[in-house]
Amino acid sequence: MDKKNTLFKSVNLTGFFALLFLFLTPIFIFIGNKYIAEILANFAYGFLVLSLIFNIKEQIKQRNNSKKRIKIFNVLLILFILFLFFFFSIRFLNERNMIKAFEKKITEASTYLEKGESFLKNQDYDNAIKELKNAIKIDDRNFKSYYLIGRAFYKKSDYQSAKNFLLHAVGLKNNDFSSNILLATVFEKLGDYDNAIAKYRIAENLRPGDFGVYYGLGRTFYKVGKIYRALNELLIANEKNPGNFEVNFILGKIYYEKGDFKDSLKYFKLCEIINPGNKLVHDYINYLKIYD
């Protein structure tokens, strides 16, 4: 009777631990610790198997009182428990080593990325590209490395290379404003105005009201001859940053092309205030001064 009670307690105890681990598993998933959740799920599985084995043992004892068979079963049970222990221990150690290796890899990639970013800030574009490429060799899923290389190539006026890396950056993280607006500018530099406008629109949705988006759209629309659409975008850009020379200069040219010489002169005069001594601005003002 005591042995039955002991076995009954063993079955209930293993069942209790199995349910406990099963209960804790979704909690750790919810708080974001999937690694611990996986370990708990493995232990829950092990205890469920043990509970099943104890139940089978009880059935054998009830049907057959052969002590020899029960001893063999007990030996097999111990071996199975040892197997489970070593299996999950080895798996746990392997996963921990994998995590450590991954963390080391990310640390090395971050070091290269930080060095590349520092070179980029100091306008050492070649070394920046070299360090950032090393970061990508270690971790090719970090969009920032591709974005920064794209910026470095843009600064070097290598727009085709810049485009390739920036496309990779937005492929990894399509909602990054900086990557999208720089890619739009690169498309514009390459004369691919349709893609430039499309990327400026994406950037506009990501950061509504940004000066750079309105200026980029206005500049691109002007290049393709859509001066009225360009005018709308540039007027908004000018409201946000009235002291920008390029915006005022293009506005002066648009009004000149429209035949609105008085407004054209107004914007060229603003350009002269912002950048005194600009010869082209001076020529426009001399030509338009009769409309003052």
pLDDT digits (tens, 9 = 90+) for 172-198: 999 999 999 999 999 999 999 999 999
Is 245 within the bounds of a domain? yes
Note the pLDDT of residue 52.
Answer: 64
- DSSP one-letter code for 207: S
Percent of the chain whose predicted confidence (pLDDT) is above 90:
58
Report the number of distinct structural domains present in the chain: 2
Out of 76, 104, 132, a domain closes at 104
- DSSP one-letter code for 289: G
Note the pLDDT of residue 55.
Answer: 63
Q: What's the chain's average pLDDT? A: 82
CA 44 – CA 24 distance, rounded (Å): 10
Containing domain of residue 283, as a range? 223-292
Q: What is the mean pLDDT of residues 244-269?
A: 96
Note the pLDDT of residue 291.
Answer: 79
CB hemisphere CA count around 278 (13 angstroms): 16
Is 196 within the bounds of a domain? no
